[in-house]
Structure 1
Amino acid sequence: MEIRHLRYFKVLAEELHFGRAAKRLFISQPPLSRQIKELEEELSVKLLTRNNKRVALTEAGKHYLSECEQLLNGLEKAKQQCQQIHLAESGIFNLGYISSISKQRLSELLKQIKELYPLLQVHLFETSSQKQLTALEQGKLDLGIVRAPIIRPMFTQKSLYEDGFVLALSNSRGQKINDDLRDLNLRTSSFISYNSEYAPVYHQKFLEICSRLNFTPIVMHECNTMQSILELVAYDVGIAIVPKTAQQCGIASDIHFLDIPTSTDIKTQIIMTYLSDNPNKLLITISELIYNLFK
C-alpha cells in the first residue's frame, strides 16, 4: 500500500464518481479504477459498491475513509512541521549578551550551534541588559544573556551562574601594591565604570562595594562595554571594579586583578531569558546548550 492509494480513495469517496475523481487527480479513469481495486485486494474488503449509475461507500469504506483522513492529515501536519524546522535551522537566530560574559564560552557555543545547524546564521548583539529586554519584547532578539533581576512576566528565564566582583588595575600599578588594597588610595583614585543608565544593576553593585570600603568613588570615565573598561585600565588611565568573569577576557593578561575581601557576598545573577511565546523552534535546544556551557 502506498500513499497514493489513500489519496485516490479519499478523493473518490468525496466525489462518489470515477470521472470527477479522476479529473481532480489529473489522471484517467482506468488507472484510478486499477488503484482502487489494488487497495481493496490488499485490504481484502470491498470499500465501494459501483454500477453504471452510482458509486457508494460500504460500511467498511466509510470507516476506512475516516482512517484515511486522519492519516493524510497527520502526514500533512508532519510535512508542515518539518518545513518549519528546516526554515528555523536555515534561518537567523538573534542572540544578545552583556559584554562581561566569557568570550571563550561564547565562541564554544557558536561552534556547537554550527555543528548542529550548519545552515543557521547566529547574529550576535553585545549590549546592556535593559536594551536586550526591549529588543526581546520587540522581537528583534530571540534570546538574551543578561544580568538579573528582571521583573517581566512574559519572559522565561533561567539562572546561569553567580558573578562576584574584583578590583582591576594595570600590571604596573599592581606590582607596586603587593596585592594589598591598603596600599591603594581608593579615595583619590580615578575610577572607570559603566554608565549608570546603561548598566544600572552593575552601577548599584559598584557603589555598594565602594560604600563597604568607606569611600565615594571618583568616576572619571564611563563606558558601555567591559572591553573598553579593561583597555583603559590596562593603559593605566584608572582602576575599576569589574565582574569576576572579566578575568577570562582576552585582555586580562595586561591587567592585575585583586579580590575585595569585604565584598565577597556582593554578587549578581547572570541569566538567560526569552519571550515565553517566542515561536522559534530552536529556542529550547540553544538554551540548553547555553545552560550547559555557562552554568
Structure 2
Amino acid sequence: MNLLYLSSVELRQICYFLAVTEAENNFTRAAEYLQIDPPPLGQRIKSLERKLKVELFDRQRRPLQLTAAGKVFLEETRLALTTLERAISRAQQAQRGEIGFLSVGIASSISNTLLPDILRTFRSRFPDIEVELLELTAERQLQALREGRLNIGFEVLNNVQEPDTSLNVLPIMEESLVVAMPELHPLVFQRQVFLRDLANEKLILPSIAEFPFYQKFIYYCQQSGFEPNIIRDVQATWLVTILSLVVAQVGLAILPSNVENLQRRGVVYRPIQDTSLRRQISALWRKDDHSVVLAEFLKIVADLSGSKLPE
C-alpha cells in the first residue's frame, strides 16, 4: 500500500465524485446536495482526475457519461468507502465498549452463584463482545492475570498470600462450607452437622495444593480436638468427581456451599455449624488494564453483587 501517494488524494474529492454519480452525473444537482457552487465542484473533480491521471467523465457526450476508468473507480471507491464507514463505526463502538473481547477466569465458586446472572446481563447489553471463559484454579488465575492472558478472574484468595500490588481486588460474596454425604448416611438425619460429628468420618477434600483455603478447615478441626481423617490416596479437584466419590461411599466431602446448586442423585448436603469458617470470593483484575470492555463488565459485577468499585 502506497501510503505516501494515497495521502495526496483528498477523501473529500472522492466523496464529491460519488455525489456527482449519485446525481446521475449532473454537476448542478450534486452541487446543490453538497451545498457548494457548481464551478468549484467541477474544479475539484478535475483536480482528482489530474491526481489519478485518468479521465473519470466523458465530457464529449451528452448527457454526461462515465468513462471506462470512471466506472471502475466508482465501483472500487464505493467498496472502499463502505469499508471506511464501517471502520469508523466499529472504532466508535469499541470506544464505547460495545465490541471487543474479554477473557474471564472462573471456578465453581462463581460459576454456581453469580456468574449466570453476570453473563446474562452483560450479553444482553453488549451482544457483540466475545467473552472467553477459562476454568482455572486460584493460583493459575493469578498467573494468567499477571501475564496478561486474563482480563478478570474470580477466586478465593488465601490469607497467607502476599498481596499483589499490581491487582485490584473487589470482594463480591461470601460462602460457607457444607458436608456432602451419601443419602443413607446417619448424619443425613441431622438438620445440621457440627465439626465434632466428623471426628470419626473419612473425609474427602479438594487438593490443598490447588485450594489452600482448606488448610483453615484442618486447623478448625484441630481446634475442636481431633485430627481430620483425610483420605490421602484420593486426589480429586473438580466437584463432579468429588460428588461421584461421595455416591460411591468413599467418604464425606467438605465443599463450599455453592455446590448445593448442583443436583447430584444420591448426595445430601448439610451445613457445618459451630465454625466461622467462610470463604470470600473476589473479582481480580490488573490495575493497568484500562479496557473499556472490562470497565463495563466490572460495573455489572459490582451492581449484581452490591459491591463498590475502587475509585
The bucket for the TM-score relative to the shorter chain is: 0.5 to 0.7
Which amino acid in structure 2 is aligned with residue 134 of structure 1? Q
Which amino acid in structure 2 is aligned with residue 241 of structure 1? I
Closer/same/farther in 2, CA of residues 240 and 102 from structure 1, 3 Å limit: same
| 1:185 positional shift | 6.2
2:292 aligned counterpart, secondary structure: coil
Residue in structure 2 matching 1:163, options 175, 189, 196? 175
Closer/same/farther in 2, CA of residues 229 and 267 from structure 1, 3 Å limit: same
| 1:129 positional shift | 1.0
Structure-1 residue corresponding to 2:76: none
The unaligned stretches of length 5 or more in structure 2 are 1-7, 15-26, 37-87, 307-311
Q: Does 1:82 align with 2:92?
A: yes
Structure-2 residue corresponding to 1:275: 286
1:169 aligned counterpart, secondary structure: strand
Q: What is the CA–CA distance in structure 2 between the aligned matches of 1:241 and 1:169, rounded to whole Å? A: 9
Structure-2 residue corresponding to 1:211: 222
Structure-2 residue corresponding to 1:256: 268
Which amino acid in structure 1 is aligned with residue 100 of structure 2? G
Which amino acid in structure 2 is aligned with residue 237 of structure 1? V
Residue in structure 2 matching 1:288, options 287, 290, 299? 299
1:195 aligned counterpart, secondary structure: coil
Which amino acid in structure 1 is aligned with residue 274 of structure 2? T
Q: How many residues align?
A: 227
Q: What is the CA–CA distance in structure 2 between the aligned matches of 1:198 and 1:237, rounded to whole Å? A: 21
Structure-2 residue corresponding to 1:247: 260
Decide whether the 8 Å contact of 1:109 with 1:290 is kept in 2.
yes
Residue in structure 2 matching 1:95, options 104, 108, 127? 104
Q: Which has the higher helix share?
A: 1
Decide whether the 8 Å contact of 1:162 with 1:270 is kept in 2.
yes
| 1:286 positional shift | 0.9
Q: What is the CA–CA distance in structure 1 between the aligned matches of 2:167 and 2:256, rounded to whole Å? A: 25
Q: What is the CA–CA distance in structure 1 between the aligned matches of 2:136 and 2:278, rounded to whole Å? A: 20
Closer/same/farther in 2, CA of residues 183 and 195 from structure 1, 3 Å limit: closer
Which amino acid in structure 2 is aligned with residue 95 of structure 1? V
Which amino acid in structure 1 is aligned with residue 279 of structure 2? T
1:100 aligned counterpart, secondary structure: helix
Q: Does 1:125 align with 2:134?
A: yes
Closer/same/farther in 2, CA of residues 271 and 205 from structure 1, 3 Å limit: same
Structural RMSD (CA)? 3.3
Q: What is the CA–CA distance in structure 2 between the aligned matches of 1:104 and 1:266, rounded to whole Å? A: 19
Deviations 1:30-68 (A, max 9, x none): x9xx9xxx89xxxxxxxxxxxxxxxxxxxxxxxxxxxxx
| 1:136 positional shift | 0.5
TM, length-normalised to structure 1: 0.65
TM, length-normalised to structure 2: 0.62
Closer/same/farther in 2, CA of residues 141 and 259 from structure 1, 3 Å limit: same
Decide whether the 8 Å contact of 1:168 with 1:240 is kept in 2.
yes
Q: Does 1:109 align with 2:94?
A: no
| 1:169 positional shift | 1.1
Structure-2 residue corresponding to 1:25: 10
Q: What is the CA–CA distance in structure 1 between the aligned matches of 2:195 and 2:144, rounded to whole Å? A: 44
After the TM superposition, which segments of 4 or more aligned residues of structure 1 sit over 6 Å from their partners? 182-185
Structure-2 residue corresponding to 1:231: 244
| 1:143 positional shift | 0.4
| 1:209 positional shift | 3.0
Structure-2 residue corresponding to 1:43: none
Q: What is the CA–CA distance in structure 2 between the aligned matches of 1:232 and 1:292, rounded to whole Å? A: 38
The unaligned stretches of length 5 or more in structure 1 are 1-22, 40-77
Q: What is the CA–CA distance in structure 2 between the aligned matches of 1:127 and 1:208, rounded to whole Å? A: 26
Closer/same/farther in 2, CA of residues 229 and 212 from structure 1, 3 Å limit: farther
Structure-2 residue corresponding to 1:10: none
Decide whether the 8 Å contact of 1:98 with 1:147 is kept in 2.
no
| 1:260 positional shift | 2.4
Decide whether the 8 Å contact of 1:174 with 1:256 is kept in 2.
no
Which amino acid in structure 1 is aligned with residue 140 of structure 2? K
